[in-house]
Amino acid sequence: MTDASNDHAVFTHREIMRVFSGVALAMLMAAMDQTIVATALPTMAHDLGSLEDLPWVVTAYLLASTSTTPIYGKLSDLYGRKRVLQVAIFLFLIGSVLCALAQSMGQLILFRGIQGLGGGGLMALAFTIIGDVVAPRERGRYQGYIGGVFALSSVAGPLLGGVFTETLSWHWIFLINLPLGAAALVMTGRALDRLPAGRAQPTIDYLGAALLMGTVTSLLFVVSRAGVALPWSSPTILGLCALGLGMLAVFLWHERRVKEPILPLHLFREPVVAVANPVVAVSAMVLFAGIVYLPLRSQLVAGTSATTSGFLLLPMVLGMVLGAGGGGRLISRSGRYKVFPLAGLALAAVMYLALGLSPAVSESGLWSTLILVPLGIGLGLVMPVMTVAVQNAVERRDLGAATASVGFFRSLGGSVGVAVFGAVFAADVEARLNAAGLPGISGREVMEHGPSALSSLPPAARATAQSVFEHGFSTLFLLAAGLAVVSFLLTLFLKELPLRSAADAAKAGAEVV
């Protein structure tokens, strides 16, 4: 039993901002660590001596954070937000220190996994806590802040990674988390005292957690390595496919029978949740096409540095902040939300189409603003709205699990998207390089080693390769436009429910979960 008064407490704007400031720091750390290592990977490989295992530095974090996201959501419903969030912060900081001290690539990969175990909780709980303190109808006022944190992390990650690597050392991309984490602990220490404290006699679904982590790990390994490092027909890939699907079947069977499931399947009988999560997954793929591959295109085709290419995302980031903030305020005024992701996805599809037909416009001053700002606005109108829609549709006792399901599908979609776009780009480039008579460089080498894969080519061959890469990015952006259309079509099925206000929550205060 939970304390009903605590469950439906009404927070002032000042109290909300105190809570938001703490969880925003936690959210910033987790989001930034998804991208901050990208520009430092070649230096890490040089220092630790294992280029072959380099992709696992990123993959280990994504696997751990994705698979634990729904687990944290459920644990916060059982044990309370504050306690579980602080455990996640401590685990994240321990992993960060260990990463900075790593002496081999194997150690770094292992410690990145530990860091990801904490990172999965930071993202899920930040959104859940915001759902605790802000009613859905009023939440639009704060969407701009949420969008700003994500936009900042999208740019700050690659930029800080490049700056630290070039001026200090790659170890600082992990040590920077220590002051941020300490500040987050202090700021959330008292601010979260009014949040739900959890249930009196919680039970944990250990088997469900293990099955979910095993399923996600197996299937993400398949999509990230199949067709790139290993052929689809290899025994390893086929075996992992069978293992992942088998564990998924057992997981679904088990979750129907356990008292407190890690991922309550009854949530997906709610029409809003059933539609919003697939929309979030596909939209995350669309988002990562820009965040990851626009800077890479700048490096490979235009020859810019890793740090400079990160600034390319600034117009897109500005658009995301405008889209999330402006859309959120319109939602608060109108009480309607379905129209905004529909408009955003349509806008994103048109902008990716423009990039696919002429990707060079992303570097041409005014054209960059005319393409990337609207693209950011479109993407900024999707993710926060879907979170609001899901939180508004479920009972308060399931708020943590439901919000974590959105985070899980966002992370899963982003991970799958990066892998799929990478595989498509590598295959397209490899075919074109062979056709152009440049078999000495492969698409896989380009994806794993970046611009350094071109350094040994003579000038004429390098120019030909860069032209091939530009065609490869065109294919990638056209695929992103197609996925935006798919997400748009899925959103048409989203049921629009009246958004609850703070007054509605107060009236429901007598309800005991």
Interval 168-183 mean pLDDT: 83
Interval 4-18 mean pLDDT: 62
Tell me if 41 sits within 8 A of 6, measured CB to CB: no
Sequence-separated (6 or more) residues with CB below 8 Å from residue 318: 151, 373, 376
Interval 304-313 mean pLDDT: 66
Q: Express as a percent the part of the chain with pLDDT over 90.
A: 7
Q: Which of 50-54, 115-119, 383-387 has the lowest mean pLDDT?
A: 50-54
- Residue 163 half-sphere exposure toward CB, CA atoms < 13 A: 9
> Would you place residue 506 in the very low, low, confident or very high pLDDT band (cuts 50, 70, 90)?
very low
**What single DSSP character describes residue 182?**
H
DSSP string, 309-346: HHGGGHHHHHHHHHHHHHHHHHHHHH---THHHHHHHH
Confidence at residue 306, expressed as pLDDT on a 0 to 100 scale: 59
pLDDT in tens, 342-385: 999 999 999 999 888 876 665 555 666 788 889 888 988 888 78
Residue 511 has pLDDT above 50, yes or no: no
Residue 333 has pLDDT above 90, yes or no: no
Confidence at residue 508, expressed as pLDDT on a 0 to 100 scale: 46
Interval 224-229 mean pLDDT: 66
> Would you place residue 4 in the very low, low, confident or very high pLDDT band (cuts 50, 70, 90)?
very low
How far is it, in rounded angstroms, from Cα 22 to Cα 252? 35
Interval 291-302 mean pLDDT: 74
Confidence at residue 491, expressed as pLDDT on a 0 to 100 scale: 92
Tell me if 248 sits within 8 A of 255, measured CB to CB: no
What b/e sequence results for 99-108 when a residue is b if at least 16 CB atoms lie within 10 Å of its CB, and e otherwise? bbebeebeeb
Cα dihedral sign, 76-183-308-96: negative
**For all residues of the chain together, what is the average pLDDT?**
76
Residue type, 73: G
Strand partners, 230: 226
Confidence at residue 3, expressed as pLDDT on a 0 to 100 scale: 41
At residue 456's C-alpha, the angle toward residues 450 and 458, to 5°, is: 120
How far is it, in rounded angstroms, from Cα 140 to Cα 136? 8
pLDDT in tens, 194-211: 666 655 556 667 788 788
Confidence at residue 513, expressed as pLDDT on a 0 to 100 scale: 39
Burial of 497 per CB tally in 10 Å (0-12, 13-18, 19+): middle
> Would you place residue 94 in the very low, low, confident or very high pLDDT band (cuts 50, 70, 90)?
very high
Confidence at residue 45, expressed as pLDDT on a 0 to 100 scale: 66
Residue 225 has pLDDT above 90, yes or no: no
How far is it, in rounded angstroms, from Cα 266 to Cα 273? 10
Confidence at residue 483, expressed as pLDDT on a 0 to 100 scale: 94
Confidence at residue 310, expressed as pLDDT on a 0 to 100 scale: 63
Element (H, E) at 230: none
Confidence at residue 349, expressed as pLDDT on a 0 to 100 scale: 94
Confidence at residue 509, expressed as pLDDT on a 0 to 100 scale: 44
100-109, 272-281, 329-338, 415-424: range with highest mean pLDDT: 272-281
Interval 110-115 mean pLDDT: 87
Confidence at residue 120, expressed as pLDDT on a 0 to 100 scale: 80
pLDDT in tens, 388-417: 888 778 777 777 677 778 877 887 887 778
Backbone torsions φ then ψ of 225, nearest 5 degrees: -115, -25
Interval 294-319 mean pLDDT: 72
Q: What are the start-end ranges of the H helices in 358-398?
A: 366-380, 383-393
Tell me if 317 sits within 8 A of 423, measured CB to CB: no
Confidence at residue 448, expressed as pLDDT on a 0 to 100 scale: 53
Confidence at residue 480, expressed as pLDDT on a 0 to 100 scale: 92
pLDDT in tens, 123-154: 778 777 777 777 666 666 665 666 667 767 76
Q: Cα–chain-centroid distance for residue 499?
A: 26
Q: Which of 81-95, 142-156, 444-458, 467-481 has the lowest mean pLDDT?
A: 444-458
How far is it, in rounded angstroms, from Cα 155 to Cα 312? 9
Q: Express as a percent the part of the chain with pLDDT over 70.
A: 73
Interval 51-74 mean pLDDT: 71
How far is it, in rounded angstroms, from Cα 400 to Cα 70? 8
How far is it, in rounded angstroms, from Cα 66 to Cα 410? 9
Tokens of 236: 């390893």
Confidence at residue 211, expressed as pLDDT on a 0 to 100 scale: 85
